[in-house]
Structure 1
Amino acid sequence: MITIKEVSELAQVSQSTVSRALNGHPTVKEANREKVFKAIEQLGYKPNAFAQALASSRSNSIGMLVGSLDGPFYGPLMHTAEDTVRQNNIHLIVTSGQESRTKELDSIQFLQSKLVDGLIVHSDKLSDDELIKIAKDSETMIVLNRFIPEISDRCIYIDNELGGYLATKHLLENGHKKVACITGQLSKVDSRDRFQGYRNALLEYGVEYNAGLFVEGRFDHQGNHDAARRLLDRDPEITAIFCQNDNIALAVYDVAAERNLIIGRDLSVVGFDNDTHSQHIRPRLSTVDFPVHEMGEEAAKGVLSLINKRDYPLKHKLTPTLIIRESVAKL
């Protein structure tokens, strides 16, 4: 069995330096930290996690609450956060709220019972007041996709209103007047903000808002085909649709095919998220890029800085960008 003494000898540092490096102590020089982890990898050393936690009063784990454990948004978010914390020899424990307030609370309580060193919380159902209370109890907590003024220094979010504006503006710039919108669940702040961006663009271009050109869909795959059918049945003269995520856009592609409408000619579509499949469908989907990898990395670095009491210039408000491909026709 490999010991910490052998690691220290190979790395040519003291045993205490090895211990501090394993515990993520901020006083360890980066050069020494690299030597320690190189020696650990070379020797195949496995530290005793329980003893380590007792000695350091740390579990060397971070808890993460997300809305779902699959999908093109949560998958990259979890992957990037996990990859970042693992570089610091810390494990990520992930739970899902499954769009239930009770399950979200239960998940957070479960993570806290595991004595995680920090929390990354992406909540759909908990109120601002509830998150503020949890943040007061957990000083090493980062909140994702939510801006809460009382804990703004620990919030990371995207400018969803700007994203909705950019998508709609692109359609309007290409001469479309009957621009419809299929939202995600309006119980989610993302959907409401993206819808506000849609309305802002209409106002800027002097196009009157028409409630008949809007229908509520879902960010997952449930019910979006019916939503698209209802929308096109209401007004066959619709020439463009802003879909509030790329899953919704896929449903619009299917419904357009049912009706012999060609995307990029008869019907123009802009999505949101820039999922992997958006560049592989035909025509390739114009969409708003959600910097999900950046969010995951910032969340991990932010919670690590809180745990280690180190200053880190956390990026609070992330900026979406429009990716123009071939799904929009110019009228």
Structure 2
Amino acid sequence: MATIYEVSKLAGVSLATVSRVMNNNARVSEKTKKKVLCAMDELGYRPNSIAQSLASNRTNCVGILVSELCGPFFGQMMAGIESELRAAGKHVVITTGHSETGDEEEKEKDGIEFLLSRNCDAIILHVEAIDDNYLLELSKGKTPVYLMSRLVKGMEQNCISLNNELGGYLATKSLIERGHKEIAYIAGPQFKSDAQCRFLGHKRALEENDISFNESLFYIGDFKETGGKDGVKYFINNKQSFTALVCANDEMASGAMTYAREHGYSLPKDLSIIGFDNIIFARYIYPKLTTIDNPVNEMGHMAAKLVLKDIYQQKNQVITHAFEPTVIIRDSITTLRS
């Protein structure tokens, strides 16, 4: 089997030039490119990733760490990243940081170490348990680090983030504008920065409209359907009066809607519910879920474009670092009748 060294010798060019041809680098003249391609054809040489890596000092692989592989949220995120990189001839190595035993921080760190050991050209992280200081130290290493759905001071140019506080504010404001004052809230795990920010936005909307925050109408869920079901069960069992419910993500909203209907609530007549993320099933459940749009697929594309610009020198990429949420009005909320 022919090697890249034989191609280099036959074409009379350096290994680096052969690598540039294999990577479609614009700095190679058409004459030189033709010589290399002819040599490859004559020798029956087929490029492989190891040879390209040796010649170019690049693996053409980008590591991705997400919390988990299941669920539409992370599917949309990974699809955005992978499709953008694949179109540029790059590949991804994916691992997870979720742990069923509760040691999320250690699992996320293990995932990062795995990606670093794969010699990825860069890594894109969606991490929730690791603190900012760890990420700042990590960013000083030789492997460039980029963050999805998170903003860390000192790493702003490597972050693609959503204004989660504004999203939480808009969700609650949408209900207040429809006459609701008794508004329950099912939050995500409060060690997660996006869950914290969404809750802060909820409280800001209440405060601006002179509505007191009621601890009895607050429940911390798990960002899964079970969290929504358990939250509504908690409010009902404690005989809390509420006409509207904000859920910190769509999965919990789905669980809340199911439990509420099973216990006699007509939606949205008896209870208005709003979610967060606008994942694909939000438009298909009954009633169709009003939610906050979290453009995670677009953000995934943008994270990949940022890597292509910084690491692979595609300087024509236009980067948006900060995304703004919007309200998607559907059928699950209604105006409160006095």
What TM-score do the two structures reach when normalised by structure 2? 0.85
2:237 counterpart letter in structure 1: D
Matched, 1:265 2:272: no
Matched, 1:93 2:90: no
Distance 1:90 1:102 in 2: 29
Structure 2 residue aligned with 1:114, among 115, 118, 123? Answer: 118
Structure 1 residue aligned with 2:133, among 129, 137, 150? Answer: 129
Residue equivalent to 2:59: 59
Cα 1:137–1:143 shift into 2, 3 Å: same
Cα 1:24–1:153 shift into 2, 3 Å: farther
Matched, 1:306 2:303: no
Distance 2:23 2:318 in 1: 22
Cα 1:222–1:49 shift into 2, 3 Å: same
2:219 counterpart letter in structure 1: V
Q: Is the 1:241–1:270 Cα contact (8 Å) retained in structure 2? A: yes
Distance 1:116 1:166 in 2: 39
SS in 1 for 2:146: strand
SS in 2 for 1:273: coil
Cα offset for 1:223?
Answer: 4.0
Structure 1 residue aligned with 2:320, among 291, 297, 315? Answer: 315
Q: Is the 1:244–1:271 Cα contact (8 Å) retained in structure 2? A: yes
Q: Is the 1:178–1:238 Cα contact (8 Å) retained in structure 2? A: yes
2:54 counterpart letter in structure 1: L
SS in 2 for 1:242: strand
Residue equivalent to 1:172: 176
Distance 1:28 1:181 in 2: 59
Q: Is the 2:116–2:143 Cα contact (8 Å) retained in structure 1? A: no
Cα offset for 1:236?
Answer: 4.0
Q: How does 1:153-302 map to 2 (within 5 A)?
A: 153-302=157-306
Unaligned segments of structure 2, at least 5 residues? 5-14, 34-44
Residue equivalent to 1:330: 335
1:186 counterpart letter in structure 2: Q
Cα offset for 1:222?
Answer: 3.7
Q: Deviations over 1:230-264 (max 9, x none)?
A: 02333442000001111111111111112211111
Cα 1:80–1:208 shift into 2, 3 Å: same
Aligned pair count reads 310
Residue equivalent to 1:140: 144
Q: Deviations over 1:103-133 (max 9, x none)?
A: 2111111111111111101111111111111
- Aligned-residue sequence identity (percent) comes to 39
Cα 1:251–1:294 shift into 2, 3 Å: same
Cα 1:26–1:185 shift into 2, 3 Å: farther
Q: Is the 1:26–1:308 Cα contact (8 Å) retained in structure 2? A: no
Distance 1:2 1:163 in 2: 57
What TM-score do the two structures reach when normalised by structure 1? 0.87
1:325 counterpart letter in structure 2: R
SS in 1 for 2:219: strand
Cα 1:24–1:225 shift into 2, 3 Å: farther
Structure whose CA Rg is larger: 2
1:320 counterpart letter in structure 2: P
Residue equivalent to 1:42: none
SS in 1 for 2:276: strand
Cα offset for 1:67?
Answer: 0.5
Cα offset for 1:26?
Answer: 6.1
Residue equivalent to 2:12: none
Q: Is the 1:289–1:322 Cα contact (8 Å) retained in structure 2? A: yes
Distance 2:132 2:230 in 1: 33
Cα 1:178–1:209 shift into 2, 3 Å: same
Q: Deviations over 1:143-198 (max 9, x none)?
A: 11221111111111100000001110000000001011001111101111000000
**RMSD over equivalenced CA pairs, Å:** 2.6
Unaligned segments of structure 1, at least 5 residues? 5-14, 34-44
